[in-house]
Chains A and B, each alone.
Chain A
């Protein structure tokens, strides 16, 4: 039933935005932002459930918890960057949106650096000096 509510709110917001956009583009943009934030907040509880299941899976299979944490951080960065970029893109500022995406990609790559360094060190140690 949640999906019906969310789609209903989204439809309502879309119609309102289409009506307002002719008169006040600024308020149409704000309405779009708040609709997006509201839908996101409505789903935060469900995301918490998924995360707790993943947490339990990781704990039972014995993988280091830092793996899971890093993965979740990556997903968070990806989603936040995507949301921000979409909102900015809606406002018509494509260049800033691409900068936000670039920042997201860079932050994800920064997460990978420690892993890469460990792998590279191992490979170098494997080779006879």
Chain B
């Protein structure tokens, strides 16, 4: 009885469906063809108990055949479509990673700038943090560039004596060295090479040393990746070129 009611429901639903399809048709030229297909479906629905009795699993074969018939034309383009979607997904992922790295870099820049302003008493002109992804998918700081220059060093290239005046804020340093000293001790051995690298960038070696040690102690960035400059923006442009992400 259960099977009978299921069968009856199916037949009624298929007939209804065929009626709706017939109604939806745009014009008379297609009507005969669509009626043929709809009639076959109704026949199939009516005869499904017999079909199931004679050849066990006809519906799966029918499904396979119908999918085959309608998708055969699409298979070639489907694989192309899939690879296109994959490619797009990869691009989005990369963009997201880049966004995350730049956001983290911006936050870190802000924090370093605020901390430097607090500790050194003078706000650095520019703090640049380059971040990159390691191969294992973690984010690392590739380079930190601190430019102590300030606005008055903008004309550095033209007026040579001016930077001497810019050293003035450096005189404050002995005061802060005692405060920062305990923090900086663990990495204090490394800074000399950092300052050697940075000395080309016209920063005062002691200041550079101190700042890079302080940054490495506070943020866990290896001291040799910290560059301290006191020049104009032309120097920072040079280090920016090494940015390899």
What's the A-B contact tally at a CB cutoff of 8 Å?
Answer: 118
Mostly, the B contact residues are helix
> Is A108 close to B, CB under 8 A?
yes
**Complex interface: chain A residues within 8 A of B17 (CB):** 54, 57-58, 63, 67-68, 71
The proximity string for B residues 4-29 relative to A, scoring 1 for CB distances below 8 Å and 0 otherwise, is 00100110111011101100111101
| Minimum distance in angstroms from A73 CB to a CB of chain B | 6
The proximity string for B residues 60-76 relative to A, scoring 1 for CB distances below 8 Å and 0 otherwise, is 01111111111000000
Question: CA of A47 to CA of B50 in the docked complex: distance in angstroms?
Answer: 36
**Complex interface: chain A residues within 8 A of B64 (CB):** 114
| Minimum distance in angstroms from B180 CB to a CB of chain A | 66
| Minimum distance in angstroms from B62 CB to a CB of chain A | 5
Question: CA of A78 to CA of B17 in the docked complex: distance in angstroms?
Answer: 16
Chain A contact-residue range equals 35 or more
> Is A93 close to B, CB under 8 A?
no
**Complex interface: chain A residues within 8 A of B24 (CB):** 75
Question: CA of A41 to CA of B41 in the docked complex: distance in angstroms?
Answer: 30
Q: Which of B20, B51, B67, B70 contacts A118 (CB 8 A)?
A: B51
For the complex with contacts A66-B63, A111-B66, 18 further pairs of A-B residues with Cβ separation under 8 Å are: A54-B17, A57-B16, A62-B9, A63-B13, A63-B17, A71-B38, A71-B41, A74-B21, A74-B34, A75-B21, A78-B30, A82-B30, A105-B33, A114-B68, A115-B37, A115-B66, A118-B51, A121-B55
State the B residues within 8 Å of A (CB): 6, 9-10, 12-14, 16-18, 20-21, 24-27, 29-30, 33-34, 36-38, 40-41, 43-45, 47, 50-51, 54-55, 58-59, 61-70
